[in-house]
Amino acid sequence: MLATAAESTLALAVDLGGTKIEAAIVDETGAIVPGSRFRSPTGREATSQQLVESATSVVSRSLATLPAGRAIAGVGIGTAGPITLDAGLVSPLNLPAWRDFPLRELVADQLDGFKPGGFKLGGLNLGGLPVTLRMDGECIALAEHWVGAAQGVRNVMGMVISTGVGGGLILGGVAFAGPTGNAGHIGHVEVGGFDDPCGCGGRGCLEAVASGPKTTAWAQAQGWSGATGEDLAVSYAAGDAIAVAAVQRCGRAVGQAIASATALLDLELVAIGGGFSRVSVDLLPIIRETITERSPFPFVAKVRVVASGLSGDGPLIGAGALVHRAELIA
């Protein structure tokens, strides 16, 4: 069902990450419509066909929940990067099976002939809805600026610390993607004092040091016996010395990267989400303490670092913002 001007109040939101892909319907207030959210696995070992099946599954199930009498105004897709913005291609570092994969086209094709209830109308094309793809970090920044922790702030970085580390920018009140769509990709900024090899070809990249899997791998290399980020959180809370050192190492690297980004962009606020960002309530204080070392440069030390105001909903709300807040997309 195509939207009329009066009905253009709902967005289909899609979020692709290193372990899962989700879809949901987001309304004009930034709320996820109850019952519309679906998740399927992705993962480093997934084949391209498995990833396609996961993506098409969550999109079709979410579309099938469209409330009676309502319409979709457009589709927003947030994805781990890198991406090729103009062509709608994705190459998530943690999903090796997809290199220059046409995700925007895949989702757009599912809209052809769609009507509420999930039926297809023969060969009739009822598509034509706008489908906008951006990096997940940009979506996080948009969500926080819209309904989260960065409301009213004009120079913002949204960050994701999870399977990978991503980022996105709002500068002067407008989302900034850059010519290829990869602006704000702070996960592949190198941080001083670290030499960990990164899949992007760099050494000491923030993602290689501070992502959930890399932090747990570092702890294991020091003799810690746990297996997951959740295990690390439990060990940290229990005072395990290696777990404490691992979280401190992660926080210090993130703090250094944020300080460097602020020196470059004069950021006012950084909002951090993602599953591993909740490994401990101490992580943000460690990040902030690291930034205070730049106190001789007050314009750097002034940046505020806060937890996402949207918890795990941020990426999907931000994908919805690509439709509902399209005026902010540079």
Number of neighbouring beta carbons within 10 Å of residue 125 = 10
Closest CA to 212 of 164, 281, 178, 263: 164
pTM of the model: 0.87
Q: Which fold has domain 10-129?
A: Nucleotidyltransferase; domain 5 (3.30.420)
Nearest alpha carbon to residue 104 among 31, 1, 193, 181? 181
- Is the fold of 10-129 the same as that of 138-313? yes
Residues 6+ apart with CB under 8 A from 225: none
pLDDT (tens, 9 = 90+) of the chain, 330 residues, equals: 444 434 558 999 999 998 999 999 999 999 999 999 999 999 999 999 999 999 999 999 999 999 888 888 999 999 998 999 999 999 998 899 999 999 999 999 888 756 544 333 222 233 578 899 999 999 999 999 999 999 999 999 999 899 899 999 999 999 999 999 999 999 999 999 999 999 999 999 999 999 999 999 999 999 999 999 999 999 999 999 999 999 999 999 999 999 999 999 999 999 999 899 999 999 999 999 999 999 999 999 999 999 998 978 999 999 999 999 999 986
Q: So where are the chain's domains?
A: 10-129, 138-313
Nearest to 253 by CA among 276, 269, 231: 276
User: Is CATH 3.30.420.40 correct for 138-313?
Assistant: yes
Partnered with residue 24 across adjacent β-strands are 13
Region of residue 297 (left: phi > 0; alpha: psi -120 to 50; beta: else): beta
Query: Which residues have a Cβ under 8 Å from the Cβ of 79 and sit 6 or more positions away?
Result: 15, 16, 17, 90, 92, 103, 133, 134, 135, 136
